[in-house]
């Protein structure tokens, strides 16, 4: 188990958003008590975004000249959420590229996630490459990262962050297009004008929580090198040979997940759905465990959860005040999805009592409380999010591929 990295003594909160100094990406504050995430966010209102988009167009045309793949211009990772319609709309319709869409199978797919992937493929007439690792190995890795790092998502994060890079190298396609750089969006790691790009180091530090695949294969575990072979980042030689660059669209557009998602729902029929532990009906709705077991563990480990991320974004865009946001945060953090956690534990082959034992030893473990009702203004904020599909956790099984194939049947 990971020990408490931050004592409550050093706990500091931003005066604007809901992030505290316990954020795992690291947060700093200016003399007014404003966090680096909020400071960087101001650039969304201040930069000349038309000029930045023109820079993107130039970058893309330079990449095209370098391309040795005769068919595809770039690799674009997709997930079954409305935001990825937006990514494709930019790549295909605004930049005029021919992308190869790739998707790493989380194996915890929701119905709405599968439907969104289908709709992205149909709407933009795409070739889609999906990679699913075998269930035995995947389960072994999920169990290992849960027990050792209190995080059940590491295997997915590792696969999702490397599969597009591997495909680009194998097919000699010199560009991967990601939506945003998470550490910049949340804690303002870089200014947008620094234009951070994908790198092995960035993947290890932020996507993989500082844990490299090789670290899972120490002698005291059952994980061997052959279990993580497909999670290794391509060699520097291979990257140089391909001339590969991985860019984030959020450096060229004032990224706003909510606004983009709502635009995609109205323009292309993207689907939003009610989730657990948050009001946001667009974020991570493709995965039945993200807002369930993963979010509960995130709260116990770091003292905040995904609703904090969602609310911090909404505060920074001026769409909710701090007082309402704190009430909404408390409300959703009290939601405890026991049945959904049990579904995951059944899949993993772990007893609920063992999970409770682990959870009880985590640094921010808290006894459960009931969900206090929301004020009228908080309620009206929450009802502004669209759900036009069945709830994320309506199905009682994880969906492996499309209709009819379930993991735990
Ligand atoms: Zn802040």
Report the pLDDT value the prediction gives residue 10, as an integer from 0 to 100: 67
**What is the DSSP secondary structure assignment for residue 9, as one 8-state letter?**
G
DSSP per position, 151-172: -S-HHHHHHHHHHHHHHHHHTT
Report the pLDDT value the prediction gives residue 220, as an integer from 0 to 100: 66
CA distance 272 to 85: 12
pLDDT tens digits, 324-376: 999 999 999 999 999 999 999 999 999 999 999 999 999 999 999 999 999 99
| Residue 263 CA to ligand 1 centre (angstroms) | 26
| Residue 252 CA to ligand 1 centre (angstroms) | 22
Residue 7: pLDDT over 50: no
275 burial level (CB within 10 Å; 0-12, 13-18, 19+):
buried
| Residue 326 CA to ligand 1 centre (angstroms) | 13
Residue 1: pLDDT over 50: no
Residue 268: pLDDT over 80: yes
| Residue 290 CA to ligand 1 centre (angstroms) | 24
Report the pLDDT value the prediction gives residue 403, as an integer from 0 to 100: 55
pLDDT tens digits, 133-169: 999 999 999 999 998 889 999 999 999 999 999 999 9
Taking residues 53-78, report their average pLDDT.
Answer: 92
Report the pLDDT value the prediction gives residue 280, as an integer from 0 to 100: 98
Strands (E), 23-162: 74-77, 99-104, 127-131
Is pLDDT larger for residue 227 or for residue 342?
A: 342
Indicate the average pLDDT of the chain.
92
Contact (Cβ atoms closer than 8 angstroms) between residue 304 and residue 310: no
| Residue 37 CA to ligand 1 centre (angstroms) | 5
Report the pLDDT value the prediction gives residue 219, as an integer from 0 to 100: 60
| Residue 39 CA to ligand 1 centre (angstroms) | 7
Residue 237: pLDDT over 90: yes
Residue 4: pLDDT over 50: no
| Residue 9 CA to ligand 1 centre (angstroms) | 19
Report the pLDDT value the prediction gives residue 217, as an integer from 0 to 100: 81
Instruction: State which H helix or E strand residue 245 sits in.
Output: strand 245-248
| Residue 40 CA to ligand 1 centre (angstroms) | 9
| Residue 42 CA to ligand 1 centre (angstroms) | 11
CA distance 201 to 198: 8
| Residue 190 CA to ligand 1 centre (angstroms) | 15
| Residue 31 CA to ligand 1 centre (angstroms) | 13
| Residue 248 CA to ligand 1 centre (angstroms) | 22
Give percent of the chain above pLDDT 70: 95
* Residue 67 confidence class, pLDDT cut points 50, 70, 90: confident
| Residue 17 CA to ligand 1 centre (angstroms) | 4
| Residue 316 CA to ligand 1 centre (angstroms) | 8
Report the pLDDT value the prediction gives residue 392, as an integer from 0 to 100: 97
Which residue do the tokens 């492996």 mark?
A: 400
| Residue 29 CA to ligand 1 centre (angstroms) | 8
* Residue 3 confidence class, pLDDT cut points 50, 70, 90: very low
Give Cβ neighbours of residue 308 (< 8 Å, ≥ 6 apart): 18, 19, 329
| Residue 191 CA to ligand 1 centre (angstroms) | 15
């Amino acid at each position: 188990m990971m020990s408490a990295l931050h004592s409550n003594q050093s706990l500091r909160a931003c005066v604007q958003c809901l992030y505290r100094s316990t954020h795992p990406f690291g947060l700093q504050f200016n003399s007014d008590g404003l966090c680096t995430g909020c400071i960087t966010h101001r650039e969304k209102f201040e930069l000349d975004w038309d000029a930045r988009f023109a820079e993107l167009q130039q970058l893309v045309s330079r990449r095209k000249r370098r391309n040795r793949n005769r068919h595809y211009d770039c690799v674009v990772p997709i997930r079954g959420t409305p935001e990825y319609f937006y990514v494709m709309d930019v790549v295909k319709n605004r930049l005029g590229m021919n992308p190869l869409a790739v998707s790493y199978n989380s194996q915890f797919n929701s119905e709405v996630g599968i439907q969104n992937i289908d709709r992205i493929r149909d709407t933009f007439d795409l070739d889609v490459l999906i990679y699913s690792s075998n269930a035995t190995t995947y389960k072994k890795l999920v169990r290992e990262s849960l027990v050792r790092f209190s995080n059940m998502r590491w295997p997915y994060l590792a696969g999702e962050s490397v599969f597009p890079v591997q495909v680009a190298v194998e097919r000699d396609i010199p560009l991967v297009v990601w939506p945003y750089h998470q550490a910049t969006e949340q804690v303002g790691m870089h200014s947008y004008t620094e234009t951070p790009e994908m790198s092995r180091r960035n993947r290890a530090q932020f996507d993989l929580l500082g844990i490299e695949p090789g670290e899972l294969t120490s002698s005291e575990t059952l994980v061997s090198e052959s279990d993580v072979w497909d999670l290794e980042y391509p060699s520097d030689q291979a990257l140089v040979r391909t001339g590969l660059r991985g860019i984030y669209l959020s450096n060229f557009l004032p990224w706003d997940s909510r606004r983009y998602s709502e635009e995609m729902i109205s323009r292309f029929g993207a689907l939003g759905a009610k989730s657990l532990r948050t009001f946001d009906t667009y974020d991570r709705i493709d995965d039945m465990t993200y807002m369930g077991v993963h979010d509960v563990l995130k709260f116990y480990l770091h003292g905040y959860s995904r609703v904090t991320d969602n609310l911090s974004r909404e505060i920074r865009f001026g769409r909710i005040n701090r007082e309402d946001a704190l009430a909404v945060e408390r409300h959703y953090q009290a939601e405890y999805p026991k049945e959904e956690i049990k579904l995951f534990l059944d899949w993993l082959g772990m007893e609920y009592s063992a999970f409770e034992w682990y959870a009880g030893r985590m640094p921010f473990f808290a006894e459960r409380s009931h969900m206090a009702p929301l004020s009228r203004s908080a309620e009206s904020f929450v009802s502004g999010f669209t759900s036009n599909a069945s709830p994320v956790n309506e199905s009682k099984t994880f969906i492996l591929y499309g209709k009819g194939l379930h993991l735990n049947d």
